[in-house]
Structure 1
Amino acid sequence: MEENKTSELRILFAEDNEVNRFYLRSLFEQHFKGMLILEAKNGREAVEIYEAYRPNLVLLDLNMPIMGGNEAAVTIKQLAETNGDKPRIIALTGNSLNVDDGAHNQEAIDDYIIKPFTAEALLTLLSPVIVDGKNIEESTDNLEITIEGDILHDKRHFNYEELERSLANDRQLINEVLTYVLNSLDTFLPRFRNLITEGNQEQIQKLAHELRGTALNARLPLLSEYALLLENQASFDEDFLLEHLKRIDEEIKDVKPLLAAMLD
């Protein structure tokens, strides 16, 4: 299989969700060799990294702490104009309303993609910048994976077929993502409980946003819905939070065996 020639490509992505960063990093490392991959946890880090490396492709999550994607995009665009560079800036958003109501900065951002997205959709969007790149369908073995039994009959819990499509049927990448998600799911409940004890509603919402991003990437629809309920809860209501945290706990216990069953 011929490798994609991307030695001239420098790509920076900024994403506050650890699972999302892992997903993007694994995707680029798996399918594009020789690419300089740079990553940031917030917009301020993205600006600092851009100044140091001047990447020609920048992906920015719109909803990040310290500095959001819109502000980072404007700053990076200004720096680029000063240097005579023309980076392509892509917005990553988990909310279609951000697109519909023009919440992304149309002057600084060249394009956008709504999370969760497939590997093929993302790489197609990036193709104008990828030097001598090939479509992911041409650079990925087309694996046929048969699911036996009825373990995945209810796609409300885990939509494995959609996960396959999102990762272009790449068995190695699927295993890596599933393993990473399984390990991360165990960390959410203790963190939620600590924040509820502290009465810190703002951080509860941020953690719920992180959980929703993880669930969306892993194609766990019901868990994503439960996380969204917590994310949208603006005021601190301990009874409400504990009730929904119980649902999240039960759903995590339900989906973990499903995820584990699909590992090679």
Structure 2
Amino acid sequence: MGLSICKNLIEMQGGSISVESKYGEGTVFHFKLPYKIGTTEMLAQEEQAPENYSLIGEKRILIAEDVELNQFIARQILESWGMDVAVAANGRIALEMVQEQHFDLILMDIQMPEMDGIEATELIRKLGDTRLANIPIIALTANALKGDNHLYFQAGMNDYITKPYTEEKLYSVLSKFLPANPLSVAPVVEMAKPSTRILVEEGISLSNNYVEEGLLYDLTMVRQIGKGNPDFIGKMVTLFLEQLPSDISKLKEYSQKDEWESLSKLAHRMKPSIEGMGIHSLKTIIRELETRSRNNESIHSSELKKMVAFTCETMEKVLVQLRLEFPK
């Protein structure tokens, strides 16, 4: 398994791998990658130069994702690059759309209802039309656990991105599989930050240190993704607030009924939103809830219930604070 993954990764980068083996002596593996040797000066220039995201624009991308908030983030970023974006709410719909429409790349969430990303990818790779079967597929996952990535490659995915992700991270992965647009010569323009006047009018806190002021969230990542656009920030907060009461209610219900598998799946789905909204006090706890509930640690149910209670209490406070800062 490990050698197969190594071979795929190296060949995806245009390289090659070979082996020499002698019985009783050992085995030596050689690989070549077509990269130029860099210099300190080149590294400094690369760090200073902002990415021109439009270089891979004008491509058609399919987002297979069931969470509306995650759909909105991905679509907002890709469309700002000049991409034509379509959305599928689960793997089954994605499989149908791939056979009916042209796409240059698929962003495939792993956990979705009806058909997950792993199964959808495996079925796409088995399609009779090689053009469709070979379309680049990038996994979107809230799992940062080592060892999970081999499942994605084994299913036929080309790469993966851990949620929540930055615009730079998304571009660095997609640019490996999407050829640059030779006609795209638009200059790189750094987005101006919104003025203090606009921020005040939109009800956005001007403080950089949310924790010290008592707020339980930090919208730094949201502002970075939206390039300070108040409409984007407002939409993100609205989608989060619409989903939050239901998530809190389900957490309490699953905890009361000892439905730990359902609670684990819910915690997994909530992770990107909690991290993206900067609710730092819950980042570790929500991961613990997902892992320990999935492992069916019923003997520690009292401890898990305390973690759920703390999570719900914190989320309810966040709900109130966000509604105060972003009134309808």
Tell me the TM-score range normalised by the shorter chain: 0.7 to 0.9
Shift in CA distance, 172/119, structure 1 to aligned 2, threshold 3 Å: farther
- The number of equivalent residue pairs is 260
- 1:44 and 2:92 are equivalent in the alignment: yes
Give structure 2 stretches of 5+ with no counterpart. Answer: 1-53, 197-204
Does the C-alpha gap of structure 1 residues 61 and 43 become closer, same or farther in structure 2, counting only changes over 3 Å? same
Matched, 1:14 2:64: yes
Q: Which amino acid aligns with 1:247?
A: F
> 1:140 Cα deviation (Å)?
7.0
What letter is aligned with 1:52? E
Is 1:249 aligned with 2:312?
A: yes
Cα deviation for residue 263 of structure 1 reads: 4.2
Match among 288, 291, 294 for residue 229 of structure 1? 288
Aligned pair in 2 of structure 1 residues 134, 80: CA closer, same or farther (>3 Å)? Answer: farther
C-alpha separation between the residues in 2 aligned to 1:160 and 1:76?
37
Task: Provide, for residues 56-79 of structure 1, a one-character-per-residue CA deviation record: whole Å limited to 9, x for no partner.
Answer: 210112233443323322322332
Work out whether residues 90 and 116 of structure 2, in 8 Å CA contact, stay in contact via their aligned partners in 1.
Answer: yes
Q: Which sits farther off after the overlay, 81-90 or 173-182? A: 81-90
Worse-matched range after superposition: 216-225 or 131-140: 131-140
Segment drifting more, 60-69 vs 112-121: 60-69
Change (3 A) 1:11 1:221: same
Task: Choose from 236, 261, 264 the match for 1:177.
Answer: 236
Select 1:189's aligned residue among 248, 256, 274.
248
Residue aligning to 1:148 = 206
Higher Rg of the two aligned structures: 2
Q: Which residue of 1 aligns with 2:121?
A: 73
8 Å CA contact retained: 2:57, 2:83: yes
> In the alignment, is the contact (CA less than 8 A) between 2:142 and 2:268 conserved in 1?
no
Q: Separation in 2 of the partners of 1:148 and 1:119?
A: 23
Q: Quick one: which amino acid aligns to residue 126 of structure 1?
A: L
Residue in structure 1 matched with residue 11 of structure 2 by the alignment: none
Residue number among 25, 45, 58 corresponding to 2:75 in the alignment: 25
> What is the Cα deviation at residue 209 of structure 1?
1.3
Query: Identity over the aligned pairs, expressed in percent?
Result: 25
Question: What RMSD over aligned residues (CA atoms) do the two structures have, in Å?
Answer: 3.7
When normalised by structure 2's length, the TM-score is: 0.65
Matched, 1:129 2:178: yes
Opposite residue 152 of structure 1, the aligned amino acid is Y
Change in 2 beyond 3 A, CA 1:85/1:116: same
Q: Determine if the alignment matches structure 1 residue 206 to structure 2 residue 258.
A: no
Seen in structure 2, the aligned counterparts of structure 1 residues 137 and 173 have a Cα distance that, compared at 3 Å, is farther
Residue of 215, 221, 242 corresponding to 1:162: 221
Alpha-carbon displacement from aligned partner over 1:193-213 (angstroms, at most 9, x marks no partner)? 333344422211111112222
Match status 1:117 vs 2:180: no
- So what's the TM-score if we normalise by structure 1? 0.78
Please, which moves more after superposition, 159-168 or 246-255?
159-168
Residue 114 to residue 101, structure 1, CA distance change in 2 (3 Å)? closer
Q: Which amino acid aligns with 1:40?
A: A
The answer to whether the aligner puts 1:95 opposite 2:115 as a matched pair is no
Query: Structure 1 residues 15-24 or 110-119, which shifts more?
Result: 15-24
Residue identity matched to 1:129: L
